[in-house]
Chains A and B, each alone.
Chain A
Amino acid sequence: MKLFKIRGGVHPHDNKHLAAEQAIEDLPMPALLHIPLQQHIGAPAKPAVRRGQRVAKGDLLALSQGAISAPVHAPTSGRVMGVGSYPAHHASGLSVRTVTLMPDGEDRWSDEIQGVPDPFALSPEEISARVAAAGIVGMGGATFPSAVKLNLRTRYRLHTLVINGAECEPYLTCDDRLMREQADAVVDGIRIMAHALGVERIVIGIENNKPEAQAAMAVAASVDPRIRIARLPTRYPMGSEKHLVQALTGRETPARGLTADIGVVVHNGATAFAVHEALRFGRPLVSRVVTVSGAAISRPRNLRVPLGARVQDLLDYCGGFTEEPTELISGGPMMGQPLPSTRVPMVKGSNGVLALTAAEVARHEPMPCIRCATCVQACPCGLVPLDMAAHTRAGDLEGAVSLGLMDCIGCGSCAYVCPAHIPLVQFFNYAKGEMAARGRTKQKLTETKRLAEQRAARMEAIKQAKREAMAKRKREAAAQKATPASTKVSGVELPAAEQPAAAAEA
């Protein structure tokens, strides 16, 4: 199909060969699972189990809370060891509420698990309710609750469902493998989602470095004439939602808007697979495929991992390290986050665990910017990274914002190509975080100011009342005595009498 140009972008070494030929294997069930209650964007789920309770695979562990949230289910059968706090799958390493589950080794599905014989007979509302109940979130890493996205049809005139199979991050091959091995299931999930969205067009975008996945998906998609396969040029960040949609439709998503503004909804291939499992078999999202790769990994693999398995469990299964890695990353090398330790659990959004050597990371001491404009050419968003970084460095964050800081998607293309090795993304993350903090402070300040003004007004009212009372008393006293001297005396007394009162109020 006809593709449109996107601006900028880079061609990193994709290093997919490390894991691309490894078929998906099941990770052996670890001795303990640590299942965080927040594996999605939105409100954390609320625990629904007690310590000591026995659960079957797929049983609800925690309930969705509020409009944007997702429930959490038991990845296997076993006993709940506790609901406590445990380090999160996040660079900060902070602890979050986590259910600890001891598998009983039976991996027995709950009896209540039941699929729908014909999902296409369901109404869109029923489908999205089931997707919500299955705890499905965007599995490309965004982890936005998928049902919320399916419900966009109520607010937008949607015409196209785009399936993001670009997998443009280097090293990662989990979507590639899933599309190759489970093409029929993925396509089924896609069709169910299309039914829920009521769209007439479906486009599956897959980069040209995955010819097998393109072929497999093309065969599977032949059941539905609405589906088209887009063979995308291999270029990072092709998988950025807004850029993918631009490549497919030629339209840019308005700044600060959603792709739904131009009638398109984007879902990930792994999400489609989860939807298929949820609708056909009634299985909630309890596992996902993860690529374990990097030159420091003995045997890079693609693993189907129960949620809550520790990173260490994955590393052990892949034979550990060949050498001490410089960086341990969750996700891809371009936009992934450093992992604080190997103890943290795998979550719904983790698509990769990378152990990278110093040679792979290629970090150098930064040099001054030589204004070579390579970053300008690389930026897919039309920004001038060198200027934004210069303003940030000078402390002029408003300047950086006026240059488009908030339009930066943090893709790292600029930093990837910078010959001076300036950590541009680091500057932008700092500036974005700082601006968010300032926004909060400003809000707090406005609130404080409002309270202070209220209080001042109250005080003023009290003073006014007192003054009036005093004046009244004086008038009465004057009326009683009617001597000219006393006016003078009371004139001196007046402020003296008021001062202690004012001080006490302050």
Chain B
Amino acid sequence: MQIETPAALAGPYAHARTSIQRTMGLVMLALLPATLFGFWQFGWPAIFLFFATLSTAVLAEAACLRIAGKPQRPYLLDGSALLAGWILAVSLPPWAPWWIGAVGALLAIVVAKQVFGGLGQNLFNPAMVARVALLISFPLEMTNYVQPMPLFSADAPGFLQSVGISLGQPGFDAVSGATLLSHVRTELSQGLTLSEILPDMGYLFSGAVGTIAGSMGETSALLILLGGLFLLAKRVITWHTPVAMIGSLAILATLMNLYDPEHYAGALYHIVSGATLLVAFFIATDPVTSPVSKMGQIIFGAGCGVLVYVIRTWAGYPEGVAFAILLMNACTPMIDHYIRPRVYGRDRRGTPIEYADNAEMRK
């Protein structure tokens, strides 16, 4: 998109030290702790998958820019493709074969972003589009989770074995493990109660620290939270979306838990498990696909929270974040159309404010 600048140059003749590149860079920095922790937990296969995803994303972006005849430098350096790839990678099962990441990155960049017109134009979050498409197309690979086997630990796969895992060759005997969400769901469907499935609160601890099976960068709730707080402190995001999302999810979970504690897990369970925090701080806050007004963001976040709960609890998938995000993305244009900030000097309907004690003396 070429930006013609109409009329004469105008101020301001000063600018805050901001750029798209800086924004994207800060988000990546915030993702770094959880990502590195994921590398350590899931070893070489995760690292391979990560780089396969990111490099495909950047190559796909470059190719699309070339076809569209856009300048490569500014758009590649803005970091948006890298970040989309990054977010997709951390939401994949860590031992998925490399091509899962590559196909996902292609879907994210080509289908979800460039087809819509490139940077800033996409309606749906690219990483979530890819995640959903992969889940539907490759359900096996996308639900094959492993227990953490820290890098260099005794039973972790070596470098060459890891190459084999990444290429999808059978051989290495991984301890496959269901994620907390799917484990609980399966057991519940077999008629067990929550107090039988989760006899103690240990799952909360492991979920917070991240020593559980799960996606590459989603396991450690604490590190994700750390990154999210960093983004808040740096004012890359505002509190409205994450607080609304976590809040609505927590309220719903608490209510249902009070209603039937044996079949509906409480708020903390939902917050530490799955991708809740990653989505709340990094994906629901994606500027391009979320509303621009504070009130709009609160509605958007609350909608995401409710949908996540509903999908996790009653729909066919143990984890509902990607669907929730896409559904709310679709609502964004409508939210932005109807929810606008109140204009200075006007009431909500747009008519100029009138005071009872108006000072004008009407003669």
Contact = CB atoms under 8 A, between A and B. Distances in A.
Interface of A: 7, 10, 12-13, 91, 155-159, 170, 242-243, 251-257, 260-263, 327, 329, 333-338, 354, 356, 360-374, 376-377, 379-384, 386-387, 392-393, 403-404, 407, 412, 415-423, 425-427, 429-430, 433
Contacts of A242: 344-345
List the 4 closest pairs (A to B, CB-CB), nearest first.
Answer: A430-B7, A255-B345, A412-B12, A373-B292
Contacts of A417: 16, 18
Given A334-B13, A362-B14, A430-B6, 4 more contacts: A376-B293, A379-B341, A422-B3, A429-B10
A393 B74 CA distance: 21
A257 B360 CA distance: 10
A361 B16 CA distance: 10
B20 A158 contact: no
A333 B14 contact: yes
Contacts of B20: 367, 370, 419-420
Contacts of A91: 8
A392 to B, nearest CB: 7
A255 B344 CA distance: 7
Nearest to A91: B8
Given A336-B13, A382-B343, A384-B341, A426 B18 contact: no
A369 B120 contact: yes
A407 B11 contact: no
A255 B343 contact: yes
Contacts of A170: 14
20 contacts: A254-B353, A254-B354, A255-B346, A255-B352, A262-B355, A262-B359, A333-B14, A360-B14, A370-B288, A373-B291, A387-B336, A412-B10, A415-B11, A418-B18, A422-B3, A423-B9, A425-B12, A427-B5, A427-B6, A433-B7
Q: Is the interface of B mostly helix, strand, loop or mixed?
A: loop
A12 B342 CA distance: 25
A365 B8 contact: no
B359 A392 contact: no
A333 B75 CA distance: 29
Nearest to A240: B344
A334 B14 CA distance: 7
Interface residues of B, number: 54
Given A367-B74, A370-B287, A381-B344, A361 B292 contact: no
B288 A407 contact: no
B342 A382 contact: yes
B183 interface: no
Interface of B: 1, 3-20, 22-23, 74-75, 78, 80, 118-121, 238, 287-288, 290-294, 297, 336, 340-346, 352-355, 358-361
Contact of A361 (B13, B80, B121): B13
B293 A157 contact: no
Nearest to A263: B359
Contacts of A336: 11, 13
A366 B4 CA distance: 9
Contacts of B78: 367
B14 A157 contact: no
A337 B342 CA distance: 29
B118 A368 contact: yes
B9 A426 contact: yes
Contacts of B292: 371, 373, 376, 384, 386-387
A437 to B, nearest CB: 11
Contacts of A368: 1, 3, 118-121
B14 A416 contact: yes
Given A260-B360, A384-B340, A373 B293 contact: yes
A416 B344 contact: no
A393 B4 contact: yes
B2 to A, nearest CB: 10
Contacts of B12: 12, 333-335, 412, 415-416, 425
A119 B122 CA distance: 66
Given A333-B12, A377-B238, A426 B7 contact: yes
A425 B5 CA distance: 10
Contact of B6 (A327, A338, A392): A392
